[in-house]
A and B are shown apart, each in its own frame.
Chain A
Amino acid sequence: MAAVSEEVRAFTVRLELVDEPGELLRALEPIAENGGNLLSIFHERGNVTPRGHIPVEVDLEATEDRFDTIVDALREAGVNVIQAGEDRYGEELAVVLVGHLVDTDLSDTLSRVEDCGGVSVSDVSLTAPDGTAEESAARLRLVASTAGRDRALETVRSIAAEKDLRVIEPLADGGEA
């Protein structure tokens, strides 16, 4: 089992923060101090809880042991941890993009997908049978948290609309993937 606990995995932590300056920073410190690698922070400012708190979803990488330490440290620091680890990056999904992928900066496309939070791009495969100046196709394999899935697809759709790319999506939630 030692090998398993040494493995770095992605986790999601849902926090509720008081709407005061410095709160977010205070919540992130225990993560960095305990060896967690921050992947993304999704700050749902528009979605205040009934108690007036702001929900924040933090995606991070850590070994399983360190993740437990991080959650303990967050709670010790008085941060309200709503959910930890259960919403792990579990969903794999694939999308195919078609269009002028190279001319429209594929790496920008990829980093914007990752920046939307709750998703990481695990694999990219590009094919440009007629050269990179012509239309090409790319398959993106994404690993997302449940909440990250919809956000990732929304992000892909909006980038595609902006860059005039076509998206071949997976089925909506619940369908065979």
Chain B
Amino acid sequence: MRLAVLGAGAVGESVAELAGEYGHSVTAFADSSGAAVDADGVDVAAALSRKAETGSVGSQSTEAALSADYDVLVEATPTTLGDAEPGFSNVRAALERDRHVVLANKGPVAERYDDLRDLERDSAGSVRFEATVGGAIPALATIEDLGPGRVTAIRGILNGTANFVLSRMAAEGLGYEHVLAEAQDLGVAEADPSFDVQGTDAALKCVILANVLSGGGYTLADADVEGIEDIPGSALDLAAEDGRTVRLVGEVDADGVRVGPRLVPERGTLAVTGTMNIVQLETEHAGRLNISGRGAGGPETASAVLSDVGRLPPLE
């Protein structure tokens, strides 16, 4: 397949770098300020060194990337809320050209799922978005295999930053601010960690899961979201005395979407440590399934994108 990769952050960069290994070529590669387009295949290494020097992968416009020859548009621009732009318009442009779309950007799938499916219905292209939930974890593929109607509830630890902070607080008896500063030093937390520690990122992933289970209808506004910023170390101590610990858990079931700090058994399945993620599915006939793994990271998330590309049907 020929890929147009939009977004040159950690994920977009890894998709472009790994595409060849998966048997694909990159015919367009764009970041927020420019694009490299070549029908015979963009020289990814050259584009990335150009980006390191000048700040952009190429001198052409994003529009040039959108109108290039490609089979699959990989939408890996930063997640935006509300109208989910510019990601949504990029997806629209590809579907209107009857091209496939694979998203790593959560915005369009969480905030405009129904619009996205409408566009897909009128297109010869398909939309896939494994990378939006749990990074490398094949959560959506597993749900697809089981049948969304046979999954009755989903619980998950879907934000590595929040999980790192809570598990370090519990293990070291340190306060929130201290551990957060450490996480920022390690590059586990962003300079502005609010998206992660306020629960928004985990909630977007849960909203996507809810949309998949119920065929749409959910946006971030439907989720009941609480973060971890106000949790004192003493609360973790009390939980530990009782054989429990606190994790930022997302829960998706018939009652809707809830994300917040929850008490879980200290040695239970959900109490993954560090930046690990886990998705726990309750199913009608298959019991409980747990899939854990790396929920973020360039190559990890790119592997989910490229698995999606591999699942796409050929375009005539």
A contact set with B: CB distance below 8 Å: 94-96, 98, 125, 127-129, 135-139, 141, 166, 168-172, 174-177
Contacts and interface: CB of A to CB of B under 8 A. Distances in A.
Interface in B191-238: 226, 230-232, 234-235, 237-238
Most chain A C-beta atoms within 10 Å of own C-beta, residue among B155, B238, B246:
B238
Main secondary structure of the interface of A (DSSP, over half): strand
A135 B232 contact: yes
B260 interface: yes
Interface of B: 153, 155, 226, 230-232, 234-235, 237-239, 241-242, 244, 246, 249, 251, 253, 255, 258, 260-265, 268-270, 282
Contacts, number: 77
A102 to B, nearest CB: 13
8 contacts: A94-B242, A141-B242, A166-B226, A166-B230, A168-B239, A170-B264, A172-B253, A172-B255
Contacts of A177: 265
A168 B235 contact: yes
A127 B153 contact: no
Contacts of A168: 231, 235, 239, 246, 260-263
Contacts of A139: 238-239, 241-242
8 closest cross-chain pairs (CB), A and B: A139-B238, A137-B235, A137-B234, A176-B268, A127-B234, A168-B261, A170-B263, A96-B235
B232 A98 contact: yes
A98 B230 CA distance: 9
B248 to A, nearest CB: 10
A98 B231 contact: yes
Given A95-B263, A127-B234, 7 more contacts: A125-B241, A128-B234, A137-B234, A141-B242, A166-B230, A166-B231, A168-B231
B251 A138 contact: no
Contacts of A98: 230-232, 235
A141 B242 CA distance: 9
Contacts of B260: 168-169
Give the most central of B153, B232, B269: most A CB within 10 Å. Answer: B232
Nearest to B237: A127
B223 to A, nearest CB: 14
A172 B237 contact: no
A132 to B, nearest CB: 13
Contact of A171 (B155, B232, B234, B235): B155
A37 B316 CA distance: 76
A74 B251 CA distance: 42
B278 to A, nearest CB: 12
Contacts of B241: 125, 139
Contacts of A125: 238, 241-242
A176 B270 contact: yes
A96 B270 contact: no
Contacts of A128: 234
A96 B261 CA distance: 10
A127 B263 contact: no
A139 B270 CA distance: 20
Contacts of A169: 260, 262-263
A138 B235 CA distance: 7
B263 A96 contact: yes
B279 to A, nearest CB: 13
B206 to A, nearest CB: 13
A169 B237 CA distance: 15
A138 B262 CA distance: 14
A127 B253 contact: no
A137 B249 CA distance: 20
A160 to B, nearest CB: 11
A161 to B, nearest CB: 12
B266 to A, nearest CB: 11
B238 A172 contact: no
Contacts of B264: 170-171, 175-176
Contacts of A127: 234, 237-238
Contact of A176 (B234, B258, B265): B265
A101 to B, nearest CB: 11
A141 to B, nearest CB: 7
Contact of A96 (B155, B238, B253, B282): B238
A91 to B, nearest CB: 14
